[in-house]
Structure 1
Amino acid sequence: MTTAVTIPKSGGSGERSAVAARARQVTKSYGTTEDTRVVALDAVDVDIARSGFTAIMGPSGSGKSTLMHCLAGLDSVTSGQIWVGDTEITKLKDKKLTQLRRDQIGFIFQAFNLLPTLNALENITLPMDIAGRKPDREWLDRVIETVGLAGRLKHRPNQLSGGQQQRVAVARALAARPEIIFGDEPTGNLDSRAGAEVLGFLRRSVDELGQTIVIVTHDPVAASYADRVIYLADGRIVDDMANPTADSVLERMKSFDARGRVS
């Protein structure tokens, strides 16, 4: 079974679609023979709402990270189609795909990936500096205010706590105003207090800045910050929950047995 929530496009007045990314019949498999073939994604259909916060969950081996990597253009698909905005990324050549990831996609990972020789502000603007683009100063100031880094911009990573370093990583992802931001367990290396701070900033970036966020997480509390939780098992979407709470997410996760199958 696959699940798709279809969000209609805006009217014909030049407005952007209400969908930031979408997948149609996406399959990803590994192995070259029938005996070695492993299906990580099995004909997945999904739409990611613009200016929304989506969490992807599921047991180990369910395909949740594979789905995120394919949506982000970090991994190719075996079959099917993926769009980011109005661009079908599954047809792009490597150079165009690299440019799209640079210009339209932001990433936040468990490892903060900050350069130790640069201060916080320099780390935030680094991707734009590499691309030869000047940051929009008004937007950059809003991002820095949203993540609460105004007093830490001259500090280098070793002068910041783990939570502050991840805030820098969040600000770096937001600063270029990408089409969509993907987070792979973005609070996985943080304690509960620092994790809650970072999740709060992600929530604010959606509510106050109109950003689109997609995270992969195993944590029901992290998922409760999202507008929507997509559940995967055996490479397929098996549930789609709106307005999650930590308790409702935990209860849903209990329906997966130890092998990652739906009971």
Structure 2
Amino acid sequence: MDNTAAVTATELTKVYGTGNTRVSALRGVSLAVPHGQFVAIMGPSGSGKSTLLHCLAGLDKASSGRVRIGTAELDGLADGRLTRLRREAVGFVFQSFNLLPTLSAAENILLPLRLAGRRPDGDWLDRVIDLLGLADRMHHRPNQLSGGQQQRVAVARALITRPSVVFADEPTGNLDSRSGAEVLSLLRASVRELGQTVVMVTHDPRAASYADRVVFLADGRIVDEVTDPTPEVVLDRVGRLEARAA
């Protein structure tokens, strides 16, 4: 695997339960995501895609194998060091936005820095706010924003620490098609214009087509991969996997 990758997984396995309730969610997954690449992870329901994302992001611990963010090995890190690594090197975008309702957009965006005891880089903040088109919404609270605007705030929050990688879990799942396309375009722009690395789980072939590369999982294994995807190619590959699973 590439030592310069933003995030690397080597022979990951993840097992839940024991005996008759034992489920293998990941079965020897290896993956490297270079800096500045947008990768989408797709697969049928139960294929292990969300489990893989959570293990890559340090939100869940693999049963065996290794995960590295940059040069930092997640395996064996004490809880405090793992929390610090996630805070400093990882950004998260979730389907449900996860904004604090009592804070303004600006306060939500700056929250990761505040928790880390760091001051914002004014130039970087301005670039992020400009890219996401939030300049006139910074003093609004979440209930004063549309769903698409809330998710843009969540993307800005994920970018504000200049993380090694942003993990996005179904980021358009709660949005209409227009708002979803806007958020995906902004994630794409963060890669192109800010050099960001993005790893996204999605079930939507149109969403996956914004990525540089789509990785397909089935039964806990990587079974296919497409570069420079189109919605039609992604839909065809997903259809084949679902037919095989059925």
Band of TM-score, shorter chain = over 0.9
Q: What do the CA deviations read for 1:77-107 (whole angstroms, capped 9, x no partner)?
A: 1111110000110121111111101111010
Indicate the residue corresponding to 1:147 in structure 2.
Answer: 132
Q: Distance in 2 between matches of 1:118 and 1:141?
A: 19
List structure 1 segments (4+ residues) > 6 angstroms apart after TM superposition.
none
Q: Does 1:32 align with 2:18?
A: yes
C-alpha displacement at 1:32, in angstroms? 2.2
| Alignment equivalent of 2:149, drawn from 143, 161, 164 | 164
Q: TM-score, normalising length from structure 1?
A: 0.91
Indicate the residue corresponding to 1:129 in structure 2.
Answer: 114
C-alpha displacement at 1:180, in angstroms? 0.5
In structure 2, the residue corresponding to 1:251 is in which secondary structure? helix
Indicate the residue corresponding to 2:239 in structure 1.
Answer: 254
Indicate the residue corresponding to 1:13 in structure 2.
Answer: none
Q: Distance in 2 between matches of 1:210 and 1:257?
A: 34
Q: Distance in 2 between matches of 1:167 and 1:131?
A: 22
In structure 2, the residue corresponding to 1:257 is in which secondary structure? helix
| Alignment equivalent of 1:194, drawn from 179, 194, 200 | 179
Structure 2: runs of 5 or more not aligned: none
C-alpha displacement at 1:259, in angstroms? 7.0
Q: Distance in 2 between matches of 1:260 and 1:107?
A: 30
Q: Distance in 2 between matches of 1:70 and 1:258?
A: 27
Residues 62 and 260, structure 1, Cα contact 8 Å, conserved in 2: no
Aligned length: 246
Structure 1: runs of 5 or more not aligned: 1-5, 10-16
RMSD: 1.1
Indicate the residue corresponding to 1:3 in structure 2.
Answer: none
Indicate the residue corresponding to 1:41 in structure 2.
Answer: 26
Q: Which structure 2 residues correspond to residues 3-42 of structure 1 after superposition, within 5 A?
A: 6-7=1-2, 9=3, 17=4, 19-33=5-19, 35-42=20-27
C-alpha displacement at 1:260, in angstroms? 3.1
Residue type of the partner of 2:220?
A: G
Q: Which structure 2 residues correspond to residues 103-252 of structure 1 after superposition, within 5 A?
A: 103-252=88-237
**Cα distance 1:175–1:149, how it changes in 2: closer, same or farther (>3 A)?**
same
C-alpha displacement at 1:36, in angstroms? 2.1
Residues 60 and 260, structure 1, Cα contact 8 Å, conserved in 2: no
More helix by share: 2
Residues 31 and 37, structure 1, Cα contact 8 Å, conserved in 2: yes
Q: After alignment, is 168-177 or 91-100 more displaced?
A: 91-100
Q: What do the CA deviations read for 1:151-173 (whole angstroms, capped 9, x no partner)?
A: 11111111111000000000000
Residue type of the partner of 2:128?
A: V
In structure 2, the residue corresponding to 1:40 is in which secondary structure? strand
Residue type of the partner of 1:144?
A: I
| Alignment equivalent of 1:57, drawn from 39, 42, 56 | 42
